Amino acid sequence: MVDLEAARLDRVFGALADPTRRALVERLAAEEGLSVSALARPFSMSLPAVMKHLDVLEGAGLIARQKSGRTVSCRLVAEPMEDAMGWLARYARFWSESLDRLAAELEAKA
């Protein structure tokens, strides 16, 4: 089970490591259900290149696509990001506690 969770986190962090994919996620967070062509519009790359980025996001579970006629729309899926935030939160607590200990030591020496 742990290996599956690690692989899922690897896909999410890998997908979000690319600035174009992060921008696509931000656009979907701001406006749900955008078509692929609407998502691609602000980028200076071909539609097939944008679709490859969407494939990576979909593979990480970060987006879902729905076809209606000839139009494919995308929506953001929050669960994988919540899992990643949970993983990051453990380390935020670690650093917070470490800094608190350092502050306490410095205060004790002062």
5-45 pLDDT, tens digit per residue, is 888 999 999 999 999 999 999 999 999 889 999 999 999 99
Residue with tokens 């692929």: 36
Model pTM score: 0.79
3-class secondary structure, 17: coil
CATH classification for the domain delimited by 2-77, as one of 2.60.40.420, 1.10.10.10, 3.40.50.2300, 1.20.950.20: 1.10.10.10
CB 24 within 8 A of CB 53: yes
**Residue 64: φ, ψ to 5°:** -130, 140
CA distances from 25 to 12, 22, 28, 102 (A): 12, 5, 5, 37
Q: Distance (Å, rounded) from C-alpha 35 to C-alpha 53? A: 14
Residue 2 — very low, low, confident or very high, per pLDDT cuts 50/70/90?
low
